[in-house]
């Protein structure tokens, strides 16, 4: 059973399209396989099949993170955990991590669908670049955003998984290995890892975004923004 509003017909028209869009509630194996097909189809169309694995890696990790955030909201609600209480949050995260398993993902994908806690996956592409966005309609709190930024900073500063795990052990949130995997995928494709960003509006959603330049002369949106800020 699919956990997303997506089927084989969604692959049709990729050559003529500029944006590929999926609404999902988790990341079932069937959805993952279809996403893989779509990415490979798009990258082949753009004549950059060499980037397909990196795009797949980022999309999978970022979608998994979004699904976990939605599931965490449901889990906390079901167990009466106040995420604004530091002690309750820590205990709740430990319990949530212990409960994570394939069976939980299947069960909570259905619960997320009923609660309309969704994930919006978009691939915006042309001959210059591929932009992938993963949005989930659960915003981060200020404390959660800071934890994510700390893990992103730590992952940016090392290429050693063992070092990252040893120096950034967090019994509640994890060591940030998923983020490091994303950065490693970008580096392996000779793409600036700073083109991965994670943000929230604190009210409605959290957005993970990554940009894959396809031409050397293409200037990424993040770089253009940074240059304007420096003026």
Q: Is the pLDDT of residue 205 over 90?
A: yes
Average pLDDT of the chain, as a whole number: 83
Q: Is the pLDDT of residue 119 over 90?
A: yes
Predicted pLDDT at 91: 92
CATH class as words, domain 8-140+189-230: alpha beta
pTM, rounded to two decimals: 0.85
CB 198 within 8 Å of CB 148: yes
Q: Is the pLDDT of residue 214 over 50?
A: yes
Encode 59-96: b = buried (16+ Cβ within 10 Å), e = exposed. bbbbbbbbbbbbbbbbbbeeeebebeeeeebeebbeeb
| H helix intervals, 46-160 | 52-78, 86-99, 102-115, 142-156
Q: What is the pLDDT of residues 11-32, one digit of tens each?
A: 555 666 678 888 899 887 877 8
Predicted pLDDT at 108: 92
Q: What is the pLDDT of residues 163-190, one digit of tens each?
A: 554 555 554 455 457 888 898 889 989 9
Q: What is the pLDDT of residues 58-103, one digit of tens each?
A: 999 999 999 999 999 999 999 999 988 989 998 999 899 888 877 7
Q: What is the DSSP string of 54-77?
A: HHHHHHHHHHHHHHHHHHHHHHHH
| Burial (CB count within 10 angstroms: exposed 0-12, middle 13-18, buried 19+), residue 20 | buried
Q: What is the pLDDT of residues 40-54, one digit of tens each?
A: 989 998 999 999 999
Give the residue extent of every domain in the chain.
8-140+189-230
Distance CA 14, CA 42 (A): 7
The residue written with tokens 């392996």 in the block is 188
Decide which of 150 and 229 is more confident.
150
Coil vs helix vs strand at 48: coil
CB 3 within 8 Å of CB 26: yes
């Amino acid at each position: 059973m699919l956990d997303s509003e997506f089927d084989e017909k969604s692959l049709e028209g990729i050559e003529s399209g500029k944006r590929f869009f999926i609404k999902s509630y988790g990341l079932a194996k069937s959805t993952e396989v279809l996403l893989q097909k779509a990415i490979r189809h798009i990258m082949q169309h753009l004549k950059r099949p060499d980037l397909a694995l990196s795009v797949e890696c980022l999309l999978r990790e970022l979608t998994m993170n979004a699904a976990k955030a939605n599931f965490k909201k449901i889990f906390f609600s079901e167990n009466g955990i106040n995420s604004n209480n530091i002690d309750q949050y820590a205990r709740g995260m430990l319990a949530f991590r212990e409960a994570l398993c394939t069976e939980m993902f299947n069960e909570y994908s259905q619960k997320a669908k009923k609660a309309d806690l969704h994930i919006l996956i978009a691939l915006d592409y042309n001959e210059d670049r591929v932009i992938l966005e993963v949005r989930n309609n659960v915003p981060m709190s200020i404390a959660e955003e800071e934890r994510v930024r700390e893990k992103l900073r730590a992952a940016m500063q090392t290429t050693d998984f063992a070092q990252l795990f040893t120096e950034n052990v967090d019994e509640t949130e994890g060591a940030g290995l998923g983020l490091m995997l994303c950065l490693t995928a970008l580096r392996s494709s000779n793409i600036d890892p700073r083109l991965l960003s994670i943000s929230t509006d604190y009210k409605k959603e959290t957005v993970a975004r990554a940009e894959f330049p396809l031409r050397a002369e293409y200037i990424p949106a993040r770089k253009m923004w940074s240059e304007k800020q420096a003026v």
